[in-house]
Amino acid sequence: MDSQYRRSSYGYFDDNAREYVITRPDTPTPWINYIGQEEYFGIVSNTGGGYSFYRDPRYRRITRYRYHSIPIDQPGRYIYIRDAETGEYWSATWQPVKKPLDFYECRHGLGYTKIRSRYRDIETEVTYFVPLKQTFEVWWFKIRNLRDRETDLQLFTYVEFCFWDALDDMTNFQRNLNIAEVEVEDNVIYHKTGYRERRNHFAFFASSEPIVGFDTDKEVFIGLYRGYENPIVVEEGVSRNSIVYGGHPIGSHQIRLRLKPGEEKEIVFILGYAENPPEEKFIAPNIINKTRVKQLLREWLNPDRVKQAFEELKKFWDDTLSYLHVETPDEDINRIVNIWNQYQIFITFHLARSASGYETGIARGIGFRDSNQDILGAVHLQPLWSKIRERIIDLASIQFPDGGTYHQFQPITKRGNREIGGGFNDDPLWLVASTIAYIKETGDFSILFEKAPYDNTPGTEEPLYEHLKKAVMYIDRNRGPHGLPLIGHADWNDCLNLNVMSTNPDESFQTAPDRTDGRTAESIFIACQFVWAVKELAEVAERIGRKEDAEYFRKLVNDMIERVKKYGWDGEWFLRAYDAFGRKIGSKENEEGRIYIEPQGMCIMAGIGLDDGKAIKALDSVKKYLATEHGIILHWPPYTKYYVHLGEISSYPPGHKENASIFCHPNAWIIIAEAIAGRSEQALDYYKRLNPSAREAISHIHRTEPYVYAQTIAGPASPRFGMARNSWLTGTASWMFVAITQWILGVRPAYDGLMIDPRIPKEWSGFKMVRRFRNATYVIEVKNEEHVNMGVKQIIVDGQPIEGNIVPAFNDGKVHHVVVIMGKKE
């Protein structure tokens, strides 16, 4: 290990291996990773905690996990090791036994986690991963005897099965404690609870080594009033061969090993999801069909096959990450951009906000706004293109004929929630944004003509383009007293709920959902978002020959810009909103919440205020009032009490979440705005405050994983200032990636090619980027010999100077060398 990498007392980055190496198990929060690429996913923490699910973390939960458990982060994928001679036992992953290990190391890699440990000269290594295209996970286990004598060892595996519906599993005990059923055959434990109702699915847990015993009943395995740390079966070293019938089903194999001095043994455990063949689904055979599982196990209970699959997984990531790779003078940028940020984007694209250490997989469906934004950072990954295309059409299908959308929806039913008091009125515009990002990346305008229904109602199909038009019309139609967009229930800031139903602003009252009056709160954020997105849509309309639409869109955009300038400017910054009583929010007239981050970023991204000094003024105000050493807070001052007319935003204590924490997602907008305004150093400075690797040295303050972004970091008003929460599943992942690659490094897809317009600090002499774009590879070398912070003097493509700063889309499968000379034009 290169010692320069070790900045934290919890671990270090191993960039060559693309791993984060955790060197002690007691991290400030469970530091998790994901396994799975497509349908079967699992969460694995650095001590083996976590659970698995097939496609849907609510309805197809395979194993159980207890959020809020004490000790934290239990149960998981456990392997107990017992010295048969002394009776001593410990865990390969530290938890749950928590014996002080002589050596511990967890390596979180891309799609796998490897935990190594040593106790009294018995060394183990377990690698958890899901082979590509498979619906099972592998525990690839190695054990070595470093003692100078033969040792008699027992291994006990442990998983705790979930009754499939994760919410029901936690609540419906009167039924659930009577339904568990398993079968054990040929070393394989089958969990088949629910099969009687033609549920068609079951789980299996298998071992490549012959077993000398097993257990499937939790109560029998653990023993009454004991815990995962001291199960009676492990303590006594005697499996009970229990067959659960009602109660709590588990899977535990016992394996006996006599290892000679220096001897190593490899064992494969497979935990998987299976379905009866479709033709058997509705005839209720009342049996689980094991044929396919048996076939599969014949192939996979084999360390060589597993090793090969592990190599294939590595190759998948080599390929996935080869679409964008940078070499800059800054190692935090290189590591996060090249590895971890792209990995996090891959996970947010697949899992939205469903299952993490903070999302239980049962509370919310897929967010319309979230999923569209997740696409913004994922579009460069060509292996995902068809899925992204499909996702955009799926998202369009949950739109209503009036242009509004469900806010969240279940992937299976494609139905969801729409708030009383109007929707989240920013939602429809995010569909415009994701479509445009997709088109710019792929050049594929044909998506606009792909048909999607409204509210998933057959017969209502229209081309995506019409859906986008309806999104525009929805905003245009729903405007308030200043002609600005109505906010509805909320906009991007879910907690800014300005439409409380009373005529008396000072009165405490309850919301009255049946009242429709007073819902006149307006959002300057949406106004700017409208300009930002619809400007682009006008260009797209033009390019597909819809000239009239283009003109109509531009007229609306210009009108909106005028309104923002007139009613959306507070003197030193952009206002946030007007409440239902027409009062300003995010204004110097307010006592609390005088300035908000979102409109400062979005208005400037929309190009507003660049010509008249407003942008710079607004950004200066952000710096003065909102910027902290840990990032930029959402608004200032925080709300010190609950305001009925503001809603959930004031329900949090000052400094947390939407009440003036450092909400990381809109930080990216300020970074982009600073880059647009040409203040490159400031843009990078803000970026670095949130770059997870740059915060690694303060892991003891930051607390969540140093390899991924978190949604929120406590603001200065909180006694936990600097502490992150809600890591992994956040729009921050995509937006930070867009900010650094497209706006700071300045390489961004345009309709006709790759635009290059870096905004880097003067002291950089340049950087390199390899970008695979529309079936060609661009090896881009940016030279900044004049040490400017913006400005492209000349671009040379394959030895030939080009006009302007858009490198053409060659689409020829070849490698093209692009030299970008920065400097002042003569």
**CB 492, min distance to ligand BGC, A:** 9
- Report the alpha-carbon distance of residue 516 to residue 487 in Å, rounded: 14
Q: Which stretch binds ligand NOJ (CB under 6 A): 149-157, 367-375, 760-768, 777-785?
A: 367-375
CB closer to ligand NOJ out of 213 and 365: 365
CB closer to ligand NOJ out of 398 and 447: 398
**CB 586, min distance to ligand NOJ, A:** 15
- What DSSP line would sit under 146-187, residue for residue? -SSS-EEEEEEEEEEEEEESHHHHHH-HHHHTTT-BEEEETT
Q: Which stretch binds ligand NOJ (CB under 6 A): 395-403, 490-498, 506-514, 571-579?
A: 490-498
* Nearest CA among 732, 714, 735, 736 for reference residue 723: 714
Interface with ligand NOJ, residue 407, by CB under 6 A = no
Catalytic residue flag (residue 494): yes
Q: Are 723 and 702 in contact (CB under 8 A)?
A: yes
Q: Using CB under 6 A, pick the residue from 72, 167, 495, 779 that binds ligand BGC.
A: 495
Binding-site partner at residue 369 among ligand BGC, ligand NOJ, none, CB < 5 to 8 Å by type: ligand NOJ
> The tokens of 86 are what?
């002394």
CB closer to ligand BGC out of 83 and 658: 658
Binding-site partner at residue 491 among ligand NOJ, ligand BGC, none, CB < 5 to 8 Å by type: none
CB closer to ligand NOJ out of 367 and 453: 367
**CB 711, min distance to ligand BGC, A:** 7
Binding-site partner at residue 657 among ligand BGC, ligand NOJ, none, CB < 5 to 8 Å by type: ligand BGC
In sequence order, the 6+-apart residues with CB closer than 8 A to the CB of 444 are 389, 438
Interface with ligand BGC, residue 696, by CB under 6 A = no
Query: Which one from 374, 494, 549, 757 is the annotated catalytic residue?
Result: 494
Q: Using CB under 6 A, pick the residue from 117, 145, 493, 741 that binds ligand NOJ.
A: 493
CB closer to ligand BGC out of 550 and 729: 729
Q: Using CB under 6 A, pick the residue from 36, 365, 367, 706 that binds ligand NOJ.
A: 367
In sequence order, the 6+-apart residues with CB closer than 8 A to the CB of 517 are 501, 503
Q: 750: which strand partners?
A: 753
Interface with ligand BGC, residue 359, by CB under 6 A = no
Binding-site partner at residue 680 among ligand BGC, ligand NOJ, none, CB < 5 to 8 Å by type: none
CB closer to ligand NOJ out of 369 and 774: 369
Q: Are 585 and 577 in contact (CB under 8 A)?
A: yes
Q: Which stretch binds ligand NOJ (CB under 6 A): 63-71, 488-496, 533-541, 551-559?
A: 488-496
Q: Are 412 and 56 in contact (CB under 8 A)?
A: yes
CB closer to ligand NOJ out of 213 and 601: 601
Quick one: 286 exposed, middle or buried, by C-beta within 10 A (0-12, 13-18, 19+)?
exposed
In sequence order, the 6+-apart residues with CB closer than 8 A to the CB of 185 are 290
DSSP assigned state of 749: E
Interface with ligand NOJ, residue 49, by CB under 6 A = no
Q: Are strands 451-452 and 89-91 parallel, antiparallel or unpaired?
A: unpaired
Position closest to ligand NOJ via CB: 494
> The tokens of 372 are what?
């569209």
* Nearest CA among 253, 338, 351, 357 for reference residue 301: 253
Q: 189: which strand partners?
A: 184, 205
**CB 410, min distance to ligand BGC, A:** 15
Binding-site partner at residue 424 among ligand BGC, ligand NOJ, none, CB < 5 to 8 Å by type: none
Spell out, one character per residue from 193 to 232, where the chain touches ligand NOJ: x when CB under 6 A holds, - when not.
----------------------------------------
> The tokens of 600 are what?
């400062």
Exposure string over 508-527, b if 16+ CB within 10 A, otherwise e = eeeeeeeeeebbbbbbbbbb
Binding-site partner at residue 426 among ligand BGC, ligand NOJ, none, CB < 5 to 8 Å by type: none
Sign of CA dihedral 163, 168, 170, 173: negative
Interface with ligand NOJ, residue 750, by CB under 6 A = no
**CB 459, min distance to ligand NOJ, A:** 31
Interface with ligand BGC, residue 494, by CB under 6 A = yes
Interface with ligand NOJ, residue 370, by CB under 6 A = yes
Interface with ligand NOJ, residue 361, by CB under 6 A = no
CB closer to ligand BGC out of 357 and 568: 357
SS3 per residue for 368-381? HHHHHHHHHHHCCC
Interface with ligand BGC, residue 137, by CB under 6 A = no
- Report the alpha-carbon distance of residue 767 to residue 786 in Å, rounded: 14
- Report the alpha-carbon distance of residue 491 to residue 494 in Å, rounded: 6
- Report the alpha-carbon distance of residue 668 to residue 655 in Å, rounded: 19
Using only C-alpha atoms, what is the Rg of the chain? 28
**Sheet with 747-750, side-by-side order of all strands:** 747-750, 753-756, 806-808
Interface with ligand BGC, residue 167, by CB under 6 A = no
Find the binding residues for ligand BGC in span 620-679 (CB under 6 A): 657-658
Spell out, one character per residue from 329 to 358, where the chain touches ligand NOJ: x when CB under 6 A holds, - when not.
------------------------x-----
**CB 363, min distance to ligand NOJ, A:** 11
**SS3 category, 523:** strand
- Catalytic residue IDs: 494
Binding stretches for ligand BGC (CB under 6 A): 494-495, 657-658
Binding stretches for ligand NOJ (CB under 6 A): 353, 367, 369-370, 492-495, 658
